């Protein structure tokens, strides 16, 4: 059985050696981001998310890493994001929220700190937030019909959708130039206070996602109706938000 690391740094030397053997000088950096780079890493449950930056030549040889990626997946290391420097900097206008959240919590495993120089245009973040929120609203509406109104399926729909909102709320706090807390519940609460939406609904959804609630079937349906209402409200708030580049 593959050994799950108790601490992320346990694998740094080994995983760097593996990818250095594959890519040599074409390996620019390996960066750990997300929960594994913070204090909420849970061995065996939390994925270890890596950003691996390669040269243009290196990115053409990804097939050489197939076996290595598969072997590390058995140790809870997620499939890495492989990209070049030019892809990284060229994607900031399309995916600013993702890179903002990546930069918010990361550790350099090996090589250059390619995230440190990144800067974000608030206007582009606002546009992505509006696009993402409107997409989430459509997804939740259509997903509801797929549940056939069954509470167990509604629970699954809530759980699958909620994690993305935490990342969006972090970006909202960035736009408001406010400190972004570490914990999910704290992020939800801070965003609700800053923007003026009902954070309590999202906290109830977080309980459902963690299977820590005792809601009846009728209460789950009621929570979902409130969830839809607040996501629609968020879309309206973001649409009216004025930010400066």
Angstrom distance (rounded) from CA 78 to CA 74:
9
Q: Left if phi > 0, otherwise alpha if psi is -120 to 50, otherwise beta: which for 30?
A: beta
pLDDT recorded at residue 1: 47
Residue stretches of the chain with pLDDT short of 70: 1-2, 245
Distance (Å, whole) CA 184 – CA 173: 13
Q: Tell me 241's DSSP state.
A: -
- Compute the distance between CA of residue 171 and CA of residue 153 in angstroms, rounded to an integer: 29
- Directed axis angle between helix 199-209 and helix 151-175, to 10°? 130
Write down the pTM of the prediction: 0.87
Measured in degrees and rounded to the nearest 5, phi and psi for residue 108 equal -80, 120
What phi-psi label fits residue 44: left (phi over 0), alpha (psi between -120 and 50 degrees) or beta?
Answer: left
CA distance 242 to 237: 10
- Tell me what percent of the residues of the chain surpass a pLDDT of 90: 87
**Residue 213: burial class (beta carbons within 10 Å; 0-12, 13-18, 19+):** middle
Distance CA 31, CA 53 (A): 8
- Tens of pLDDT, residue by residue over 42-82, are 777 777 999 999 999 999 999 999 999 999 999 889 999 99
- Please give the pLDDT value at position 157: 97
Radius of gyration over every alpha carbon of the chain, rounded to an integer in angstroms: 20
Contact predicate 165/189, CB 8 Å: no
Class of domain 8-111: alpha beta
């Amino acid at each position: 059985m593959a050994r799950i690391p108790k601490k992320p740094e346990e694998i740094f030397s080994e995983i760097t050696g593996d990818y250095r053997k594959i890519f040599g000088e074409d390996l620019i950096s390996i960066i750990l981001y997300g929960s594994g780079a913070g204090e909420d890493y849970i061995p065996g449950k939390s994925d270890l998310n890596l950003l691996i930056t390669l040269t243009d030549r290196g990115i053409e040889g990804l097939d050489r890493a197939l076996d290595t990626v598969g072997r590390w997946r058995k140790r809870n290391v997620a499939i890495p994001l492989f990209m070049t420097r030019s892809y990284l900097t060229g994607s900031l206008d399309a995916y600013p929220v993702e890179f903002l959240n990546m930069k918010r919590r990361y550790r350099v495993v090996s090589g250059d700190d390619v995230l440190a120089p990144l800067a974000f245009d608030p206007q582009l973040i606002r546009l992505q937030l509006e696009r993402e929120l409107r997409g989430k609203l459509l997804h939740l509406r259509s997903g509801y019909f797929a549940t056939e109104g069954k509470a167990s399926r509604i629970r699954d729909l809530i759980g699958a959708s909620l994690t993305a909102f935490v990342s969006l709320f972090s970006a909202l706090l960035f736009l408001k130039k406010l400190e972004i807390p570490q914990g999910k519940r704290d992020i939800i609460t801070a965003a609700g206070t800053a923007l003026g939406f009902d954070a309590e609904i999202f906290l109830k959804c977080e309980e459902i996602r963690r299977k820590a609630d005792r809601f009846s079937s009728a209460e789950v349906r009621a929570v979902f109706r409130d969830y839809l209402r607040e996501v629609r409200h968020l879309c309206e708030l973001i649409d009216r938000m004025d930010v400066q580049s």
